[in-house]
Each structure stands twice: as structure tokens, then as C-alpha cells.
Amino acid sequence: MTGYDNLLARIRLRVREDDPMMPLSAGLPDPAPSGKIDKAEAILGFRLHPLLAAIYRDVADGGFGPDYQLLSLIDGPTSERAVSCYLENRAAKAGTAWAWPEGVLPILTWGCGMYACVDCRSDEGTVLLFEPNPGDPQAAWWIDSPTLSGWFEHYIGGTGWWVKAEDGEDFDEMSPWPYAPGRSA
């Protein structure tokens, strides 16, 4: 029991709703064993948010979720993986105005350089939207959801900004995330 059991059960139900003809385990990567999560944390140099670790361990190692779906942690069927994406962004952007913040793990690509990321240093697991396309590094980071559990509630309920965007609605509800410059060293 993790304290997240109810939410994890509801995520599993939503995964089934996304493709009702597919059994939960078919087509999804297997859940990540604890050893893989430990290895990911050792490579990253920080611990995953506890809910994020529980999702990878108890639901699947990526391959589900909104739109482009969650990235696998270290290896898996997706070409992009959370750990390598984080390390590549940290290395490629170091010392620039675009420097990637420490402890902010990309978990999903929206395409066009945009990512959903979890601030693993925040108690709530704040979910951030990295949106570089306007070209301003000072305005590239947005608070998608104050909590990781809230972000998954949006996925479960089909109420996230990504649903509004697909429906052609405006979604100017996000606040800027002010911590990127201070966390980039």
C-alpha cells in the first residue's frame, strides 16, 4: 500500500478506457521493477517523486497517458526515454539561457520540443509544461498542474489543457514557473 492505491486503480481503469479491446497488460510496457527505478534514480542523481515512482512501478513503464503518452524511464518501446531526455537536455543547454532545471524530469513529449515534466524536488510533484516555441527562455516554463496527482486526475477525467486544445478552446490558465533560472546550475 502506497497511499496512492485509489489513484493508481483509477489510472489503470482509464488506460483500459483508452483502448477497451486491450487487456491492461497487452500493448503496454511491463511495470518497471524497483531495481529499474533505483537505477534511474542513481543515474539522475535524485529520487523520483513517490507518486511517479509508484506509477512506473505499479501501472507501466510508460506507454499510456494523454496524447503522446508517458516516456519509458530507461528503456522501452518509445524512442525517447525520460532519463536520457533529462540528461541530454541538461548537457545540451548547460550554460545557456535555456539551461534545463535540476530535478525536472520530462515524462511526456507533446511534440514540437514541448514536454510535460515533473519537478521531483517539489513535495507535490508539480507538473510543468516546457514550451520553447515562442523563442523566449524566460517564458518557456509553465505550471501545468500544481500536483502530479492533479495532473493525473485531469488525465482520468479528460479535463486537461490538451483536451481543451484539441477541442479548439483557449487554455490561458497556466502560470509561469519562476524557478527555472535558479535551478539550472
In the prediction, which pLDDT does 1 show?
43
In the prediction, which pLDDT does 52 show?
98
In the prediction, which pLDDT does 72 show?
94
In the chain, domain spans: 5-183
Strands annotated E in 47-126: 104-111, 114-119
In angstroms, the CA 89 to CA 73 distance is 15
- Exposed / middle / buried, residue 90 (Cβ in 10 Å: 0-12, 13-18, 19+): middle
The helix/strand/coil state of 145 is strand
pLDDT means over runs of 10, the chain (185 residues): 86 84 64 96 98 96 90 80 95 92 96 95 97 91 97 95 83 84 78
In angstroms, the CA 49 to CA 65 distance is 17
Q: What is the pLDDT of residues 50-61, one digit of tens each?
A: 999 999 999 999
In the prediction, which pLDDT does 26 show?
56
CATH class of 5-183: alpha beta
In the prediction, which pLDDT does 148 show?
98
